[in-house]
Structure 1
Amino acid sequence: MPSPIPVERFLPRDLSPSIDLRPCSSPLELSHRKLPGGLPACSGRRRLLPPRLAWCSIDWEQVLLLEPLGSGGFGSVYRATYRGETVALKKVKRSTKNSLASRQSFWAELNAARLRHPHVVRVVAASASCPGDPGCPGTIIMEYTGTGTLHQRIYGRSPPLGAEICMRYARHVADGLRFLHRDGVVHLDLKPANVLLAPGDLCKIGDFGCSQRLREGDEAAGGEPCCTQLRHVGGTYTHRAPELLKGEPVTAKADIYSFAITLWQMVSRELPYTGDRQCVLYAVVAYDLRPEMGPLFSHTEEGRAARTIVQSCWAARPQERPNAEQLLERLEQECAMCTGGPPSCSPESNAPPPLGTGL
């Protein structure tokens, strides 16, 4: 029987399942000639952002590196100050194996530029270069939310989330997705490690290195706006929607599938799959494999509340999944049941935020 997954859809080995950020391997390479802010002076020709992004160009003299925070697939993150404000600075890695993917990761990060929402990490500034590293595809400065992630909260030594916190966190993520999808941005790598925990116990969606912007006028089979240009592989295979594994066009429903796996993790505190990666990919597409709904989804309040939401969000066909608006409405109802109050788990985001502007 032919494989339901095109050969080019099999992901390279360096794309790992939902693990947390690894320790940063090395700091920025600093030269002897430095700017006042602590970074080396630029040498050679500087690559500039296009005019539409000139508003967020980095003033390097205002950058002061403090300490490394972590490392991911395409970048290293540092705590820094910028214009007196504590920020997170992400230096996109040079990839000797796939330089195009490195550049795509940088430009994808800028899909979140100009977007302002309580549950989306804010881009402060960006540059298509980095002092002292002429081969770096780019640098992003983002708001600093601390060092905690939802992944650490789920799998750390803290007690289980419980029904109220689980539904509140889920609502934060869904609220962020609703905002992104309204603006035509699909994240495409939603997982606990990419959900940051900010002061006030707020969840913020970060790491837009795999994101894409939907194009107006393009529609998938179910009438959903889509992007037909996705031809590279990326993201995390454990959270990747089956239609993307088959090479079909991207729609916002791919994020809804990833949300389902993430919510499943909040309840189960387990990793989605074990076993050989390619066998998992095949089974997800050909046999509708999903993570097991264990006893927690029947015997705990949060599990019972999440069960039907998870099952509807990871439906095999995108058309059968709710959109972010419908998902948020359902979560509002569950939040109200958990708290016994009005359907609001996140008072700070009740007022509609200003819609972001496209790039």
Structure 2
Amino acid sequence: MALLSHKPEPVGNASLKKWEFIGSGGFGVVYKARHKDWGFDVAIKLLHNGQLSHTSSFTFEQSKLYDEANHMGKASCDFVLRVYGIYQGCPPEEKSFQRGIVMEFMGRGSVQTLQMLLSGPPPWPLTFRVAHEVALGMNFLHSRNLIHQDLKPSNVLLNDDLHAKLADFGLSRVSTSALSSNGEMTGVTGGSYKYMPPEAFQTSYRPVHAFDIYSYGILLWSIVTGKEPYNAADSSLVELKVPAGDRPPLGEIDQIRTKGLKEIVDLMKRCWDKDPSTRPTFKECCEVTENVLSKHQEGIFAAVHQVLTTMDSPTTYQHSSKAVRFYLQTPELTKIDDFVDHARFETQQNSVSVATRNLTDTEKAKFIDDKRAKLIQDVSEVLRIVEELGDKVHQETYSKILFKETSQEKMRELYNSTLRSGGSSVKAALYDALKKHELNLMERLGMI
């Protein structure tokens, strides 16, 4: 796409149809509409205070809107959200003439949307592809002497094939944090302070490329764990702790769980180093992420298919509303499902079908009883297992499990309620669920 000029060609109401409200935030509102001539959907971002007459001069915010459009045009590539023009017109059910940005529509929302729908990270191949595509987009951005300044899960958008693209360039410009059909919207600063480097909390700080590198390190942690960093901390606590050296915990990441994960964790630590001069460039980041992704390339198709199937399942949306409430109300967004790469996923499925074929419910139940203490201590995929049990877990118990802060507390609640009263059949179902989602643990415990 050619770079936008300072006066990009406008897109008016005559070119648009099938308007659909997507959501709103501190900046304004976003609509989806079909462009009649182009034949595809676009996203239209409007400011809350973007009303003006046909002859009025630009406000400061409108000038920033044009700045954002021009910056996005300058950075246009496969891994950065594309800008098609400037909207000028009167949106449906609005009475005033407005201006906005006409952008690429990303039908699968953002990485944050995905994390909430899955209640955790996606399969490893997709996790590493997202990490690599973000690095590629940021490398291109820096090659154009642009700084993002607001790199976080809600600003990494996903298309219909779950490829990642960067959106929302900089806290100094107007920002929107979602252009999706899932209705996700946050304001300009929603969560951004958690991704700011320690030096940025100084009042005299002026952003440089190292700002984005630090943010990428925190983003990598979020992508890998499926969690929001410092979820229980407010801005004042983060501002105090981050310059003192606090970072998101790495202890919960099993670095030998899959190929390349150790390299990604090492990259995280390099990116969020306290000294900006020692952080890697995005070119160096791309070399690491490309190498890790190459180890999982054959599993990409299966991972994308698995996630899209999960996202499109009615039960996913039923549970996603619970996951959203859980995310908003509890101190920590607990990881539900790391999933697995394609090869290991097939191995697990085959192992379950072979190993459990000749076992009785009584044998499975005895294993669950005998290993009670170890299962409470070590099971991490608790909510995924609870969902696997389905109606065997009463709604009241499900709610109690949701609001437990740790995996150990969740498993203990499951034992004290569902497993205590459910008998051998429920314990046998738990055994099968554990073999599907915690195969490595079950093998270490010497499963029957």
Q: Determine helix, strand or coil for the equivalent of 1:53.
A: coil
The structure 1 residue matched to 2:236, chosen from 278, 285, 289, is 278
Q: Which residue of 2 aligns with 1:85?
A: 40
- Contact kept, 8 Å, 1:104 with 1:209, in 2: the verdict is no
- Which of 106, 121, 124 is matched with 2:81 structurally? 121
CA 1:199–1:211: 2 relative to 1, 3 Å? farther
Of 195, 212, 218 in structure 2, the residue corresponding to residue 239 of structure 1 is 195
Structure 2 contact 8–86 (Cα < 8 Å) conserved: no
Q: Take 1:133 and 1:105, find their aligned partners in 2: how far apart are those partners? A: 21
Bigger relative contact order (CA 8 A; separation at least 6)? 1
* CA positional deviation for 1:340: 7.8
Equivalent AA in structure 2 for residue 239 of structure 1: Y
Q: Which residue of 2 aligns with 1:53?
A: 6
Aligned positions of 1:71-82 closer than 5 A: 71-82=24-35
What SS class does the counterpart of residue 86 from structure 2 fall into?
Answer: strand
Letter in 2 for 1:288: G
Q: Report the 3-state secondary structure (helix = DSSP H, G, I; strand = E; otherwise coil) of the residue aligned with 2:229.
A: coil
Instruction: Tell me, in whole angstroms, the C-alpha distance in 2 between the residues paired with 1:327 and 1:308.
Output: 11
Aligned-partner residue type, residue 86 of structure 1: D
- Distance, in Å, in 1 between the alignment partners of 2:20 and 2:172 is 27
Give me the whole-angstrom Cα distance separating, in 1, the residues matched to 2:193 and 2:89. Answer: 30
Change (3 A) 1:339 1:146: closer
Show the counterpart of 1:23: none
1:291: which partner in 2? 248
- Whether 1:307 aligns to 2:261 is no
Q: Following the alignment from structure 1 to structure 2, what is the Cα–Cα distance between the partners of residues 283 and 101? A: 33
Change (3 A) 1:307 1:196: same
In the alignment, the residues of structure 2 paired with residue 129 and residue 282 of structure 1 have an alpha-carbon distance, to the nearest angstrom, of 46
Counterpart residue number, 2:281: 323
Residue of 30, 50, 69 corresponding to 2:22 = 69
Task: Letter of the 1:123 partner, please give it.
Answer: V
C-alpha separation in 1, matches of 2:272 and 2:33: 38
* Distance in 2 of aligned mates of 1:209 and 1:72: 16
Residue type matched to 2:48 in 1? K
Q: Where in structure 2 are there 5+ consecutive unaligned residues?
A: 51-58, 174-187, 300-448
**Aligned counterparts of 2:251 and 2:61: Cα–Cα separation in 1:** 38
Match of 1:334 in 2: 292
Which has more helix, going by share of residues? 2
The two structures have a TM-score, normalised by structure 2, of 0.54
Unaligned runs of 5+ residues in structure 1 are 1-50, 213-232, 342-359
In 2, Cα distance between equivalents of 1:129 and 1:278: 41
Distance 2:88 2:275 in 1: 38
Residue 281 of structure 1, CA deviation: 1.0
Cα deviation, 1:189-227, whole Å, max 9, x if unaligned, reads 111111111122210111235367xxxxxxxxxxxxxxx
Tell whether the 8 Å contact from 1:181 to 1:252 is kept in structure 2 after alignment: yes
Residue among 107, 110, 115 paired with 2:67: 107
Structure 1 residue 329, shift from structure 2 partner: 0.8
Counterpart-to-counterpart distance in 2, 1:139 and 1:317? 39
The count of residues paired between Structure 1 and Structure 2 equals 267
User: Where does 1:1-359 land on structure 2 (aligned, <5 Å)?
Assistant: 52-64=5-17, 66-82=19-35, 83=37, 84-94=39-49, 100=60, 104=64, 107-127=67-87, 138-157=99-118, 160-208=121-169, 210=171, 236-247=192-203, 248-273=205-230, 274-285=232-243, 287-301=244-258, 303-339=261-297
The structural deviation recorded for 1:100 is 5.0
**Structure of larger gyration radius:** 2
Please report how far the alpha carbon of residue 115 of structure 1 lies from its aligned counterpart in structure 2 after TM superposition: 3.6
Change (3 A) 1:315 1:102: farther
Structure 1 residue runs of 4 or more that deviate by more than 4 Å after TM superposition: 99-103, 127-136
Of all paired residues, the percent bearing the same amino acid is: 29
Q: 1:55 to 1:105 in 2, by over 3 A?
A: closer
Alignment check: 8 A CA contact 1:88 1:141 kept: yes
Point out the more displaced range, 182-191 or 79-88. 79-88
